[in-house]
Amino acid sequence: MDAKQVLADLQRRFPNEPEYHQAVEEVLGTIEEEYNKHPEFDKVNLIERLCIPDRIYQFRVTWTDDKGNVQTNMGYRIQHNNAIGPYKGGIRFHKSVNLGILKFLAFEQTFKNSLTTLAMGGAKGGSDFSPRGKSSAEVMRFCQAFMLELYRHIGPDCDVPAGDIGVGGREVGYMFGAYKKYCRQFQGVLTGKGLEFGGSLIRPEATGYGTVYFLRAMLKTKGQEIAGKKVLISGSGNVAQYAAEKVLQLGGTVMTMSDSDGYIYDPDGIDRAKLDYIFDLKQVQRGRIKEYVEEYPNAKYVAGAKPWFEKADIALPCATQNELNEEAAKALVANGVIAVAEGANMPTTPDAIKVLQDAKVLYSPGKASNAGGVSVSGLEMAQNSQRLNWTSEEVDAKLLWIMENIHDNCVKYGTEADGYVNYVKGANVAGFMKVAKAMMAQGVF
């Protein structure tokens, strides 16, 4: 494989999809050497078959708002690769959603799911519908309309969607209800379900907790721990909230949280009581993070900015893609940050990754450190198949084992001559090899 040539071909055939190109470039750049040790891969053009999704569904979603106006949005499902298990990946509802963003996410998901050791292929879906500012009745009507198309293409052994940005327990519940109504089947077809109808304990916590378990494993390689460290967190959604909770449990101090309008910095740290306020603000009131400073006036709110320029020891980007750029990475390095663990998908730009790696900062890509969410989704599928529920302790212990195992694999495949662990390379090579071997065994499709 000539990685540059493969990328150039994809850019020519699929223009205007920069995030997809960015994700492919990052993976190809790190697996090229390993891939080229296997001439049998190239004989069957394995790399193109792995980069281009198996299939893409694209549809119009029509729904009626509270004023009686008929609205249309676009809906998508990318089924990227099912060599090692049923398609699996979240659904994102956000106004920025387009085909290129979902293709990047589905591509990444394929490697991430492979790393978890569970039997799950890669997929992603979503819509340019944003639940922000909509009533629950509008969100419900939208979810029902979205599922009216999607239900034909998913199933417990075919494709199992989950949540992502803008899709939490409420949206998964509405989509599950619609699926059940259209199919007349009660199946484990979505994960992140409510506990009363097949959800798994620890699923809401899993991505955030898993990110911090991974961070702890990275720090351990340097004889460091989370206790006593100051942590910058971006986002204030599902991943950010539970990453903050686990940091607090392990003795760290959370200094910041954010949303797409700005960030809050609390010089005294966001303690348990303040985090409970944020849980209520975001999960129940569906408010904005700037309201925090009205409750805690010692904190500041900075509009239109990211938290990366504040002084701390650790950064956890937990909001969205490309939210940590080169300038921000330089500020983190200058401020002495020792570790950056991604809770979000692809939040760090390629330039910024280079800055962090050149400075030998511990840096983990989302496909490794945020794999806890999909891992517990895989455990939810296992419990649904068994018609059994495991305790939180059982699920949490499995999550911890999976995160430490992913960390070990990154160290195995990513350790460089000087001992620095390139977690990007480690995660990509480990994730790729399993999928590649499965594809080789299954013939050319």
Residue closer to ligand NDP, measured from CB, 19 or 35: 19
CB of 318 to ligand NDP, least distance (A): 6
Between 61 and 399, whose beta carbon lies closer to ligand NDP? 399
425 catalytic? Reply is no
- Pick from 229, 28, 238, 61: which is nearest to 143 by CA? 61
- Of 435, 431, 434, 407, give the one whose Cα is nearest residue 421: 407
Shortest approach of ligand NDP to residue 93 CB, angstroms? Answer: 8
Q: Which is nearer to ligand NDP, 139 or 344 (CB)?
A: 344
Strands 362-364 and 230-233: unpaired
Given 112, 124, 282, 425, the catalytic residue: 124
Q: Which is nearer to ligand NDP, 375 or 422 (by Cβ)?
A: 375
Half-sphere exposure of 123 (CA within 13 A, CB side): 32
- The smaller minimum CB distance to ligand NDP, of residues 148 and 406, is found at 406
Contact residues for ligand NDP, defined by CB under 6 A: 163-166, 168, 207, 235-240, 259-261, 318-320, 323, 343-345, 370, 373
For ligand NDP, give the closer residue by CB, 288 or 330.
Answer: 288
CA distance 92 to 165: 5
Answer for the pair 142, 61: CB distance below 8 angstroms, yes or no.
yes
Which residue number, 53 or 208, has a Cβ lying nearer to ligand NDP? 208
Residue with tokens 């090229």: 32
Separation between Cα atoms, residue 148 and residue 309, nearest integer Å:
45
CA distance 25 to 17: 12
Q: Which residue is nearest to ligand NDP (CB)?
A: 237
The residues annotated with a catalytic role in the active site are 124
